[in-house]
Structure 1
Amino acid sequence: MAMWALLHLLTTALVLLSWPLTPATANLEGDALFALRKAVKDSNNVLQSWDPTLVDPCTWFHVTCDGDNRVTRLDLGNANLVGSLVPELGKLQRLQYLELYMNNLTGPIPKELGRLKSLVSLDLYHNNFTGSIPSSLSNLSNLNFLRLNGNRLTGTIPRKLTKIRSLKIFDVSNNDLCGTFPTSGSFSKFSEESFKNNPRLEGPELMGFVRYDTTGNCN
């Protein structure tokens, strides 16, 4: 009887220890999303359901989750959001689609987005992002679509991005990028349309002659 009671106690303890794992993850991802809500002005109330007191952010509008209640998709394109992105978004480890196009988002693109190893699509086009393109985005080995066109990005195009073999669409047109654009690796299949309307962008790089320094500043 004592042995059965001990086994029952151990089993109960293991179950209790396992229960907080999913809510803890949900809270972490909910906190990351709520950080975004606090960083933007939401005049259309599209984020009204984003309640930080709820354990599970999968019940929020514009958020899609998988069977483990992990966030896989964020659909906030054309939502009239004004503000900036937050580095906390890098905590959404299973995020596959980050759709924030056609808003009025400003400031830099957080380098922490390079932690989103599951990301398939990063659509930040038609905003007002400034600063350079983070070289950390080269860590997104599953990325198919990278659209940053229609912003105010400066600096050079990181050559590290050419190692993303899965990249099918790349668009940085209508920015203020400078230097030359890469033509090696995955970039060999992109036409000049992907780079148009960058007045300080000189054209394709010549082998062994790249006119920018290691900081991404153009000479």
Structure 2
Amino acid sequence: MERIPSRISASALLFVLALSNLSGVYGNSEVDALYAFKTQLSDPNNVLASWNQTLVNPCTWFHVTCNNENSVTRVDLGNANLSGHLVSQLGQLSNLQYLELYDNNFYGIIPKALGNLTNLVSLDLYQNRLTGHIPKTLGKLQKLRFLRLNNNILTGTIPYSLTSITTLQVLDLSSNHLRGYVPINGSFSQFTPMSFANNPKLILPAIVPQAPAPAPTSLHA
């Protein structure tokens, strides 16, 4: 009879350990994603010195913000003098709302996996050296309000999938090497030529001049 409580205690302990391991796996997926990003970056100013892979979650790291559930919602690394590639593992940050990587020396392509960040509100990659096409997968970011990819070396056409983002308020694709026609449907109907300036091979929609309003007729003529 004395063995029963000990068996129950052992079972309860195993259950708690199992839950703890599951929690660790969830937390570590974000740690692993951000650490994979860090490991291939050049960081001369050591702004990522606090990014320690041994922690259960990255919420104590500088330049990282988390929600009440200890899940990453912001990565703020603008103007940090970083250089390197954007890694596809960033697409694992499922609760990320702000990805601020502007004004650095990032090069290479924009990973298609960023289209998995369906909670993203702001994607700021401007003033880097990014090349390749704008991924069509970014059209899946249906909560996006700010998309700034200007001042890079992006090529190819503007994906029509972006026009389906009804929440989009600010768009800047200027100063790249984009080509083809600028879409005018969906959310793109609100953006002015400034959003697409300095892309010599882009074809802007023709602006039809409005006829002047007729002069008012005098009642005493």
Q: Structure 2 length normalisation: TM-score? A: 0.88
CA distance in 1, matches of 2:87, 2:205: 33
Matched, 1:123 2:124: yes
Structure (1 or 2) with the larger CA radius of gyration:
2
Give the counterpart letter for 1:94 in structure 2: N
Give the counterpart letter for 2:182 in structure 1: F
Residue 45 of structure 2 corresponds to 44
Q: How far does residue 68 in structure 1 lie from its aligned partner after superposition?
A: 1.3
Alignment of 1:67-106 (within 5 A): 67-106=68-107
Relative to structure 1, the CA distance from residue 128 to residue 188 in structure 2 (aligned partners, 3 Å threshold; closer, same or farther) is same
Q: How many residue pairs get matched?
A: 206
In structure 1, stretches of 5+ residues that fail to align are 207-219
The alignment's C-alpha RMSD in Å is 1.9
Alignment of 1:50-199 (within 5 A): 50-199=51-200
Q: How far does residue 15 in structure 1 lie from its aligned partner after superposition?
A: 2.7
Identity of aligned residues (%): 54
Q: How far does residue 7 in structure 1 lie from its aligned partner after superposition?
A: 5.8
Give the counterpart letter for 2:159 in structure 1: P
Give the counterpart letter for 1:46 in structure 2: V
CA distance in 2, matches of 1:138, 1:31: 26
CA distance in 2, matches of 1:40, 1:11: 44
CA distance in 2, matches of 1:21, 1:204: 53
Asked whether the equivalents of residues 154 and 175 of structure 1 are also in contact (C-alpha less than 8 Å), the reply is yes
CA distance in 2, matches of 1:197, 1:13: 62
Asked whether the equivalents of residues 181 and 205 of structure 1 are also in contact (C-alpha less than 8 Å), the reply is no
Relative to structure 1, the CA distance from residue 204 to residue 39 in structure 2 (aligned partners, 3 Å threshold; closer, same or farther) is farther
